């Protein structure tokens, strides 16, 4: 038996979403019954992969009652879960939609600090996975206590074992990963502009900036997500721009994670870079058609992929 994909989420969450007729201050607001879903970058990638018929293992720190709920939610979605026990309570995020204007408000809570002992346990758990995966997706934010040095060393060790590392993070973590170099990185256009030191990028300059990262050895593949403008996927030999299909947008939660899931699904099947780009945009766009934190449906993703392949 071989394991194609391991996702790592260092700052997982349970996403709680609800709706309200009108969001206003100093009023008792009557909300709809909350919906609870597993969340965090890598976990969302695993959820997306499952919908596309690709099995993965989701590894993450888990603590307290929220951690138990997170494990239960993943089990209901048939996700292979590898929780690493920690002392602190797993965080929650809250998303509320004002139905009077269809405005979405996203409240992201910080994760509790990870201790040195827990960081060591996470490291050991990753390399205890048997068999080792062919692809590792590191996605989402870093909690306090996990240093960029931890991340750099982890990427080095994974690469030394000939594992393809895919990164979707931001800030100092993204900078550290790009300096070490990975197989694929997915910055948005704002993150890309910050990294190369330009105030602003547009559609015409995004591909040049991505090429700059490839030439520097930051990644073999750079996938630049540009929201409604689609994405650029750039390698040493190819530069592919895929326009996003026009759909009725309901949410933005999980669109980036869904894009990563689409690309990884194609990569796991041995598909081309063009197919990766199209499936990434199809899944990312399909995620905006849903509600709350439900990500995309397989039906919508496949329909959009066929449209993009015409």
Annotated catalytic residues are 257
Sign of CA dihedral 41, 44, 48, 53: positive
Q: CA 105 → CA 18, 91, 113, 284, distances in Å? A: 10, 18, 25, 19
Residue 281: alpha-carbon gap to chain centroid = 13
Taking the C-alpha atoms of residue 248 and residue 167, their distance in angstroms, rounded to an integer, is 29
Q: What is the DSSP letter of 231?
A: E
Closest CA to 48 of 291, 308, 279: 279
**Other CB atoms closer than 10 Å to residue 128's CB: what's the count?**
10
Taking the C-alpha atoms of residue 17 and residue 73, their distance in angstroms, rounded to an integer, is 14
With contact defined as beta carbons under 8 Å apart, do 9 and 140 qualify? Answer: yes
H helices within 52-170, ranges in order? Answer: 64-76, 116-128, 148-160
**Other CB atoms closer than 10 Å to residue 130's CB: what's the count?**
7
Residue count (the chain)? 310
Helix pair angle (41-51, 255-268), 10° resolution: 50
With contact defined as beta carbons under 8 Å apart, do 213 and 196 qualify? Answer: yes
């Amino acid at each position: 038996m071989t394991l194609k994909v391991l996702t790592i989420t260092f700052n997982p969450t349970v996403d709680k979403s609800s709706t309200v007729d009108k969001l206003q201050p100093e009023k008792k607001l009557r909300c709809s019954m909350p919906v609870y879903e597993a969340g965090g970058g890598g976990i969302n990638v695993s959820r997306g992969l499952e919908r596309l018929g690709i099995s993965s293992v989701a590894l993450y720190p888990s603590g307290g009652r929220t951690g138990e709920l997170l494990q239960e939610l993943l089990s209901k979605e048939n996700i292979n879960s590898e929780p690493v026990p920690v002392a602190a309570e797993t965080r929650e995020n809250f998303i509320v939609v004002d139905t009077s204007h269809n405005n979405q408000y996203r409240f992201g809570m910080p994760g509790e600090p990870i201790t040195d002992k827990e960081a060591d346990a996470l490291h050991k758990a990753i390399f205890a996975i048997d068999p080792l995966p062919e692809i590792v997706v590191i996605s989402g934010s870093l909690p306090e206590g996990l240093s960029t040095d931890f991340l750099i060393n982890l990427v080095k060790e994974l690469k030394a074992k000939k594992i393809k590392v895919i990164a979707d993070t931001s800030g100092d973590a993204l900078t550290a990963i790009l300096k070490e170099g990975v197989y694929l990185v997915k910055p948005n256009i704002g993150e890309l502009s910050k990294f190369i030191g330009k105030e602003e990028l547009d559609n015409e300059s995004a591909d040049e900036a991505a090429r700059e990262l490839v030439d520097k050895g930051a990644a073999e593949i750079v996938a630049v997500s540009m929201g409604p403008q689609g994405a650029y996927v750039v390698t040493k030999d190819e530069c592919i721009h895929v326009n996003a299909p026009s759909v009725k947008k309901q949410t933005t939660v999980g669109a980036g994670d869904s894009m990563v899931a689409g690309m990884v699904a194609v990569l796991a099947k041995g598909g081309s870079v063009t197919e990766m780009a199209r499936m990434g945009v199809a899944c990312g766009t399909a995620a905006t058609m849903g509600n709350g934190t439900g990500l995309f449906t397989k039906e919508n993703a496949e329909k959009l992929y066929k449209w993009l392949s015409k």
